């Protein structure tokens, strides 16, 4: 965030609901004692990738085996599905090791998290979509990696895949045999391994990159905080009722989720306070606009606007500003609509109070807000209009223009 001084960083952190915001850290300073593991090497996750997956993906790519792997995995969808036949032996061995819950996973907490997701699904989908989804466009590394990877050539499809990850995690039985998240996470982990090998071959990506290999463990932690930590904090800021057990269960679902993506337990926060402290170091200081991010934001907002929100694009822009801050809205060059801004900032708190049964007074714009929320939720439930399952395929190259 080169163009922001410390005061701007603090105000942005407050607007995003992130605490303890400081200037960019020069070295990794988060205590591994605050992790799920309770201890660790102290190694900077900026220089940790996925030693279990990356060499395997390099081998499969260089041996031309990815197309047949993608074909074999097409019908591998539910957690309870058997591993696909016809996979290379090394990949089958890998999946037998990692395509399961960790020993420390608490099934009771995961069940409670699923029920919490059901009860708060419209808020969650809205925050994941209009909050986290748009925030991803001002995370420079994420924006550039998405844009210059193969999936960046078709952003509507790429958005659908993003919705799939959030939706599968929010499913009622996400981690059960009939759910899909464990498979989704494992496929995503394989894609990350491939992208780590492919993107450094793109001159366009290398031209703006500040790292030699993309998608480090630190980058995955950034994504976690732009999703789980951000959403949790905004729900607290908006006074959406959550019990302590609900909050703990929601965190646990994310702990398991990022573990399945290959994050070592020494980097996975064990409490929300630890998550917020880690987020303040790795996420807020790096937020900034990029040309790639501006393009991606317009595509994502355009995809959202395609469904019948029952509101104007000005209202949509102002809701993004409300969820993320005016600083982010200015970076993304979202035109102002001050009438819509006033409506959002005055009616939204009243809408939540009434919807949650905390106030008997129905706000005048209740119906409009309710339809807006339901429409955003349906965008997730329909996964960008792509049917019941969005195929996750391993790329064999970068964005065609690269």
Other C-beta atoms lying within 10 Å of the C-beta of residue 71: 12
Quote the CA–CA distance of 380 and 176 in Å, as a whole number: 20
| pLDDT for 12 | 47
Q: Are 194 and 61 in contact (CB under 8 A)?
A: yes
For residue 351, give both structure tokens. 């809408």
DSSP helix/strand/coil, 268: coil
Specify the pLDDT at position 20: 34
So what's the pLDDT on residue 383?
55
DSSP character for 269?
Answer: B
Is 368 buried (19+), middle (13-18) or exposed (0-12) by CB count in 10 A?
A: middle
Query: Which backbone phi and psi does 35 adopt, to 5 degrees?
Result: -95, 170
Do residues 164 and 31 make contact, with C-beta atoms less than 8 angstroms apart?
no
CB 263 within 8 A of CB 30: no
Cα gap 362→353, rounded to integer Å: 9
Ramachandran angles phi, psi of 225, nearest 5°: -70, -30
DSSP lists the bridge partners of residue 398 as 149
Phi, psi of 44 (to 5 degrees): -70, 120
* Joined tokens for residue 85: 């036949």
Contacts of 242 (CB under 8 A, 6+ apart): 116, 120, 235, 236, 250
Retrieve residue 273's tokens. 């306070």
Dihedral sign for Cα 53, 55, 61, 64, please: negative
Q: For the beta carbon of residue 374, count every other beta carbon within 10 angstroms.
A: 16
Query: For residue 5, what pLDDT is reported?
Result: 37
Residue 371 tokens read as 């339809």
For the chain, the residue count is 402
pLDDT for the residue numbered 390? 63
pLDDT, residue 310, reads 65
Please, are residues 133 and 301 in contact by the beta-carbon 8 Å criterion? no
Q: Which residues contact 49 (CB under 8 A, 6 or more apart)?
A: 196, 213, 215, 216, 217
In Å, what is the CA distance from 85 to each residue of 180, 185, 187, 293? 19, 19, 15, 39
* Burial profile 79-99: b = 16 or more Cβ within 10 angstroms, e = fewer: beeeebeebbeebbebbeebb
- Say how far apart CA 290 and CA 268 lie, in whole Å: 28
Could you tell me the sign of the dihedral formed by the alpha carbons of 17, 19, 25, 28, in that order?
Answer: negative
- Judge contact between 116 and 362, C-beta under 8 A: no
Specify the residue for token string 């041996």. 63
Rounded Cα–Cα distance for residues 219 and 57 (Å): 19
Distances (CA, A) of 189 to 70, 91, 368: 14, 12, 39
* pLDDT, position 15: 45
Average pLDDT of each block of 10 consecutive residues along the chain (402 residues)? 38 43 62 97 96 98 98 95 96 98 97 93 85 92 92 75 73 91 95 97 92 96 95 95 97 98 98 97 94 90 72 88 96 95 93 90 86 74 56 91 64
Q: What is the DSSP letter of 31?
A: -
Residue whose entry in the numeric block shows the structure tokens 């932690």: 221
């Amino acid at each position: 965030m080169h163009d922001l001084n410390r005061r701007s960083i603090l105000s942005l952190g407050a607007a995003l609901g992130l605490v303890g915001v400081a200037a960019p850290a020069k070295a990794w300073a988060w205590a591994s004692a605050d992790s799920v593991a309770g201890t660790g090497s102290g190694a900077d996750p900026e220089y940790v990738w996925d030693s279990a997956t990356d060499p395997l993906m390099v081998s499969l790519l260089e041996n031309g085996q990815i197309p047949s792997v993608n074909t074999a995995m097409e019908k591998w969808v539910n957690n309870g599905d058997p591993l696909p036949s016809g996979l290379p032996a090394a990949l089958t061995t890998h999946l037998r090791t990692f395509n399961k819950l960790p020993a420390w996973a608490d099934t009771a907490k995961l069940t409670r998290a699923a029920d919490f997701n059901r009860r708060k699904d419209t808020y969650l989908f809205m925050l994941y979509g209009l909050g986290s989804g748009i925030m991803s466009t001002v995370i420079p590394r994420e924006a550039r990696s998405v844009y210059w990877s193969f999936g960046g050539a078709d952003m509507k499809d790429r958005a659908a895949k993003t919705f799939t990850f959030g939706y599968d995690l929010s499913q009622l039985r996400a981690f059960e045999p009939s759910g899909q998240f464990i498979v989704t996470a494992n496929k995503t982990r394989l894609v990350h391994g491939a992208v780590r090998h492919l993107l450094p071959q793109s001159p366009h990506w290398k031209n703006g990159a500040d790292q030699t290999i993309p998608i480090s463990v630190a980058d995955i932690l950034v994504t976690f905080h732009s999703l789980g930590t951000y959403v949790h904090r905004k729900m607290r800021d908006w006074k959406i009722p959550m019990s302590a057990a609900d909050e703990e269960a929601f965190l646990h679902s994310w702990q398991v989720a990022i573990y399945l993506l290959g994050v070592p337990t020494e980097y996975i926060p064990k409490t929300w306070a630890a998550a917020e402290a880690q987020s303040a170091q790795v996420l807020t200081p790096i937020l900034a606009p990029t040309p790639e991010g501006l393009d991606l934001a317009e595509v994502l907002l355009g995809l959202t606007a395609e469904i019948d929100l029952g509101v104007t694009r000005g209202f949509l822009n102002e809701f993004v500003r409300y969820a993320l801050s005016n600083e982010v809205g200015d970076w993304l060059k979202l035109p102002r609509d001050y009438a819509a801004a006033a409506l959002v900032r005055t009616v939204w708190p009243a809408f939540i109070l009434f919807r949650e049964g905390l106030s008997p007074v129905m706000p005048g714009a209740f119906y409009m807000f309710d339809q807006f929320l339901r429409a955003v939720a349906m965008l997730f439930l329909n996964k960008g209009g792509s049917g019941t399952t969005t195929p996750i395929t391993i790329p064999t190259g970068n964005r065609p223009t690269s």
